[in-house]
Chain A
Amino acid sequence: MSGDLPGATDAAFRRLSPAERTAACLVGLAHLPGLGPATLRRCHLEHGAEESWFDIASGHHRRVVPVVEQLARMKPAVTDKMLKEASTRDVVADLRRQQQPGWGLHVLGTRAYPERLARDPDAPAVLFTCGDLGLLSRPTVGIVGTRNATLAGRQLAESMAAELARAGVAVVSGLALGIDGASHRGAIGIAADAGPVAAVGVVASGLDVVYPRRHLDLHRRVASSGLMVSETPAGVRPDAWRFPARNRLIAGLSDAVVVVESRIAGGSMHTVDEALIRGVPVMAVPGPPGAPASQGTNQLLFDGANLARNAADVLLAIGVDPHLGAAPPHGSAPPEAPEPTPAELSVLDVLEATPSSLAEVVAATGRTVEEVAHALSTLEIAGRIGRSGAWYEVSAAGRSGR
């Protein structure tokens, strides 16, 4: 079987335990360009991981039925690339790279494989984790949404995640910019004194590749005190095709998926589709009509998704007592904000519809630049609106404070 194997690798490979051999071959296969999760799973389950690897690495890929079927849809150039890559890979080194302190490697069909995913129709053949797997035995909620979220959307995602975490729910998200990042931040903020934080990050890259770079810190914190999950081997950058694949894992790991903000054709809609396939309840946060960031979520609600106004709605939907997570009562009520002036009210009206620039607010209210700018600055100081670059937008406080 392994007669075609290069000598050095051969010797090292033979010293591995049978389980390690399977793992090593799966890691090697997962590295191959053009060989996606579905093909990988079939290779593992139908042809055997070791057989698949050695057949492909020795150029006898035609023996591997799932691969041959996959190749039929592939461009010859990609096929060549895959075979070339396979002939030069050292799977023992690949496996060693995966064996880092705190990291886990779980092969589909073994006992250590997370139960939630084992039942998944699209389960990864091999899953890489870092952190506390125990989080997956808690109730889980996926919180997803657009990368380019509004301030109010981010604030809502963060507070919702925090309240869910407080109620003992593990919050699953993708560590992307925008809603994802806000959800993780909210969950991390509720760290119990002992035990893990209730944040599960599902990423499209290898566990040691941080993407996006701006989330380096967040990535580290989720990995060190929450749980990171990926089906991509260490060292591999997130190719475009890996993001939709990642989205199915978020859906597969969640008891319910909440979409906070999304455009009609946003990536979050793909997660929604994956959730629907799996019978995972989909919930959506309502937004102002006409706001681009809420077009997708409003459409979902129209189509019959469950309404997610707050964490309590979500907890009810997954059967957790909302009172468990009730925020500790404030020592004193926040000071009453002064009544907004007519100018401030008209500015808020414009911003509630969609984030706007100064010129847009001036045009929409018919007020002078000075009046509008003054109202904007007063509202900003009061925390009712936020500003980033040229854009003013209502905060969650501004939205609920009316």
Chain B
Amino acid sequence: MLASIPSAIVIGVDGIPVTVEVHVGNGIPGLTIVGLPDASCREARDRVRAAVMAAGITWPNRKITINLAPSDTRKVGSGLDLAMAVGVLVACGELKADNVAGLAFVGELGLDGTVRPVPGVVPRVDAVAEDHVVVPWRSSADAALVSGRTVHGVRTLREVFDALAQESRLWPLHPVPEPDVVEQVVADLADVRGQDALCDALELSAAGGHHLLMIGPPGAGKTMLASRLPGLLPDLDARTAMETSRVHSAAGLTLGGLVTRPPFRAPHHSTTMVALVGGGSESMRPGEVSLASGGVLFLDELGEFPPAVLDALRQPLEEGVIRVSRARFSAVLPARVLMVAAMNPCPCGEAGRPGACRCPDGLLARYRRRLSGPLLDRFDLRVHVDRPAVAALLGGEPGTPTAQRAERVLLARERARERGVEVNSQLGGAQLEEAAPLHIDAENLLKGALTSGRLSARGLSRIRRVALTLADLGGHRGPLLAPQIAAAMALRVDVTGTNGIAA
């Protein structure tokens, strides 16, 4: 007897349909899996057998061969377990093939017969052609995000067997599972006092998609500021929401619903390269950068990240995707992140302030050398963060609330869309020329900076993009003015400069 059951695997963030073909015949009893299974997939042999027996069904004492098609794709992970078990039961006549028709199965089996969640339920369900999909109960809400599918959440293999035993297929009714991750509450910028310039920089970053580097001593509130950035970003559009949900699902998170708010990820500097950029196992699981796609990637203590890791970030930041390739596979993972980073300027915390920093010159130079020029160049905004004055903390006026700033961000992004881009940081050279003409004073200011060597040609277009976002936020139309250019330049601190120590 032969059975053919649809399922899917996930590579990177993409589901790939797989057909589980089961043949039961005569010969030495046993179970063989062919069709490029990886180690965890091959171990299905033991899980499937134990789960079937735990469900109270007699294991057919015959020669069973399972073929995973298409045979040229490596089958990774345990998500095909359930389909294999169902296939065995159909092939040996325990279940009728007709009752199983039109159904796809996703899930891992425990030795006790439970059906367990696997990473990537969203892309898997998306990949199968069948309208009805049987998934682990805990993943049922996530699977339901894929439009046009009827999802049946199950807890045990026995439940599946009972439902498929009758033609009517009565599926068990379980309550909707609680999500693992509760949506993070983003704190308001109104309770940030005495840091107006920094809040403005955050708003600029959110409005124009400008990567932001904050340089300042511990206790200046860099993390506090960065964590408020997602509040300034608009809701994810439908496409990005689905993409982000797929990524999070592929990474093994249970979503509990469509991800509609920009994610915020803050990997520690001890995070491995694989955990950061993804692609560790053969399933090419997405890393932190992809998990932040559509939202904010916050790298605290940037200088502490290994240089190789920082190097690996450059290409994704440029292209918006991560290309990982291993011996047999390659995958393209999304990486459209707004990068916010923080670093300590020096051990004494005065950051080279003339007359106040007590650090020897060599030490400051060593701190600066940790960051490569090309990486620093990616930050359109580089601002110095100081500990706010005590007076501002105690008696200062509250800052502008997040909602008010978010409204301006939304309007500024609308202006960018009129120019054919999502945010101003994506404007190409020609588009920028057209979108950001310069007032004569602004032009003279830039000329002066270029002549004195304080500004490079590369820096020039970055300055113009930031100035354009400033103009958009201020509701200004027409050629860019000198104050806008001056602000854009002042918000791009020369990190590698001599920091006030005269040579």
Chain A residues within 8 Å of B, Cβ to Cβ: 146-151, 153-154, 177-178, 181-182, 212, 214-215, 261, 263, 291-294, 354-355, 357-360, 362-364, 368-374, 376-377, 381, 388-391, 393
Q: Does B43 contact A (CB under 8 A)?
A: no
* B interface majority secondary structure: loop
Q: Does B190 contact A (CB under 8 A)?
A: no
* Chain B 160-176: CB-based contact to A (< 8 A → 1; otherwise 0): 00000000000000000
Task: List 9 tightest A-B contacts by C-beta distance, closest first.
Answer: A293-B355, A390-B384, A374-B483, A359-B197, A292-B356, A373-B490, A373-B487, A389-B499, A373-B486
- Size of interface on B: residues with Cβ below 8 Å to A: 46
Within the assembled complex, what's the spacing in Å between the Cα atoms of A388 and B448? 17
Distance from B195 Cβ to chain A, minimum over Cβ atoms (Å): 7
Decide: A148 near B489, CB < 8 A? Known: A358-B197, A359-B195, A388-B354: no
Q: Among the listed A148, A370, A389, which residue makes an inter-chain contact with B495, where contact means beta carbons less than 8 Å apart?
A: A389
Within the assembled complex, what's the spacing in Å between the Cα atoms of A374 and B388? 23
Asked if B355 and A373 sit within 8 Å, CB to CB, the answer is no
Asked if A363 and B195 sit within 8 Å, CB to CB, the answer is yes
Distance from B198 Cβ to chain A, minimum over Cβ atoms (Å): 6
**Chain B 428-477 interface residues, beta-carbon cutoff 8 Å to A:** 445, 448, 470, 474
Please give, as numbers and ranges, the residues of chain A lying within 8 Å of B1 by CB-CB distance.
none
Within the assembled complex, what's the spacing in Å between the Cα atoms of A377 and B470? 17
Asked if A388 and B500 sit within 8 Å, CB to CB, the answer is yes
Q: Among the listed B196, B491, B497, which residue makes an inter-chain contact with A389, where contact means beta carbons less than 8 Å apart?
A: B497
Q: Give the A-B contact count at a CB cut-off of 8 A.
A: 146
Q: Among the listed A148, A215, A363, which residue makes an inter-chain contact with B354, where contact means beta carbons less than 8 Å apart?
A: A148
Using CB atoms, name the residue of chain B closest to A294: B355
Please give, as numbers and ranges, the residues of chain A lying within 8 Å of B355 by CB-CB distance.
146, 148-150, 153, 261, 263, 291-294, 354-355
Using CB atoms, name the residue of chain A closest to B496: A389
Please give, as numbers and ranges, the residues of chain A lying within 8 Å of B386 by CB-CB distance.
357, 359-360
Chain A CB within 10 Å, residue with most, of B383, B483, B493: B483
Using CB atoms, name the residue of chain A closest to B389: A363
Using CB atoms, name the residue of chain A closest to B360: A147
Chain A CB within 10 Å, residue with most, of B196, B353, B357, B502: B502
Asked if B489 and A377 sit within 8 Å, CB to CB, the answer is yes
Within the assembled complex, what's the spacing in Å between the Cα atoms of A381 and B499? 19
Decide: A215 near B503, CB < 8 A? Known: A148-B357, A369-B491, A389-B493: yes
Asked if B503 and A148 sit within 8 Å, CB to CB, the answer is no
* A interface majority secondary structure: helix
Please give, as numbers and ranges, the residues of chain A lying within 8 Å of B353 by CB-CB distance.
292, 354-355, 391
Asked if A212 and B361 sit within 8 Å, CB to CB, the answer is yes
The contact sample of 13 A-B pairs, CB cut-off 8 A, is A147-B360, A147-B361, A149-B502, A154-B502, A178-B502, A293-B355, A359-B195, A369-B197, A370-B484, A370-B487, A381-B448, A390-B384, A391-B354
Chain B CB within 10 Å, residue with most, of A261, A294, A374: A374
Please give, as numbers and ranges, the residues of chain A lying within 8 Å of B194 by CB-CB distance.
363
Asked if B503 and A362 sit within 8 Å, CB to CB, the answer is no
Decide: A374 near B384, CB < 8 A? Known: A212-B361, A359-B198, A389-B494: no
Asked if A369 and B499 sit within 8 Å, CB to CB, the answer is no
Please give, as numbers and ranges, the residues of chain A lying within 8 Å of B383 by CB-CB distance.
358-359
Please give, as numbers and ranges, the residues of chain B lying within 8 Å of A146 by CB-CB distance.
355
Q: Does B498 contact A (CB under 8 A)?
A: yes
Asked if A359 and B486 sit within 8 Å, CB to CB, the answer is no
Decide: A177 near B501, CB < 8 A? Known: A363-B388, A363-B392, A376-B486: yes
Please give, as numbers and ranges, the residues of chain B lying within 8 Å of A153 by CB-CB distance.
354-355
Q: Does B121 contact A (CB under 8 A)?
A: no
Asked if B384 and A177 sit within 8 Å, CB to CB, the answer is no
Using CB atoms, name the residue of chain B closest to A364: B389
Please give, as numbers and ranges, the residues of chain B lying within 8 Å of A182 by CB-CB distance.
502
Decide: A377 near B490, CB < 8 A? Known: A362-B197, A388-B499, A390-B384: yes
Please give, as numbers and ranges, the residues of chain B lying within 8 Å of A393 by CB-CB distance.
354, 500
Chain B CB within 10 Å, residue with most, of A151, A214, A363: A363
Given A359-B195, A369-B200, output 9 extra A-B contacts at Cβ < 8 Å. Answer: A147-B360, A293-B355, A354-B356, A369-B487, A370-B486, A371-B483, A377-B445, A377-B489, A390-B352
Within the assembled complex, what's the spacing in Å between the Cα atoms of A214 and B501? 11
Q: Among the listed B198, B354, B499, which residue makes an inter-chain contact with A151, where contact means beta carbons less than 8 Å apart?
A: B354
Asked if B502 and A181 sit within 8 Å, CB to CB, the answer is yes
Asked if B498 and A388 sit within 8 Å, CB to CB, the answer is yes
Using CB atoms, name the residue of chain B closest to A152: B354
Decide: A148 near B483, CB < 8 A? Known: A354-B355, A363-B194: no
Please give, as numbers and ranges, the residues of chain A lying within 8 Å of B337 by CB-CB distance.
none
Please give, as numbers and ranges, the residues of chain B lying within 8 Å of A363 by CB-CB distance.
194-197, 388-389, 392
Q: Among the listed A149, A263, A374, which residue makes an inter-chain contact with B486, where contact means beta carbons less than 8 Å apart?
A: A374
Please give, as numbers and ranges, the residues of chain A lying within 8 Å of B196 by CB-CB distance.
359, 362-363, 369
Asked if B482 and A374 sit within 8 Å, CB to CB, the answer is yes
Please give, as numbers and ranges, the residues of chain B lying within 8 Å of A154 by CB-CB distance.
502
Please give, as numbers and ranges, the residues of chain A lying within 8 Å of B83 by CB-CB distance.
none
Within the assembled complex, what's the spacing in Å between the Cα atoms of A381 and B503? 22
Within the assembled complex, what's the spacing in Å between the Cα atoms of A181 and B356? 18
Within the assembled complex, what's the spacing in Å between the Cα atoms of A363 and B501? 25
Within the assembled complex, what's the spacing in Å between the Cα atoms of A317 and B301? 52
Please give, as numbers and ranges, the residues of chain A lying within 8 Å of B195 by CB-CB distance.
359, 363
Please give, as numbers and ranges, the residues of chain B lying within 8 Å of A263 by CB-CB distance.
355-356, 358
Q: Does B215 contact A (CB under 8 A)?
A: yes
Q: Does B351 contact A (CB under 8 A)?
A: yes
Please give, as numbers and ranges, the residues of chain A lying within 8 Å of B356 by CB-CB distance.
148, 263, 292-293, 354-355
Distance from B486 Cβ to chain A, minimum over Cβ atoms (Å): 4
Please give, as numbers and ranges, the residues of chain B lying within 8 Å of A372 by CB-CB distance.
487, 490
Chain B CB within 10 Å, residue with most, of A364, A381, A391: A391
**Chain B 319-335 interface residues, beta-carbon cutoff 8 Å to A:** none
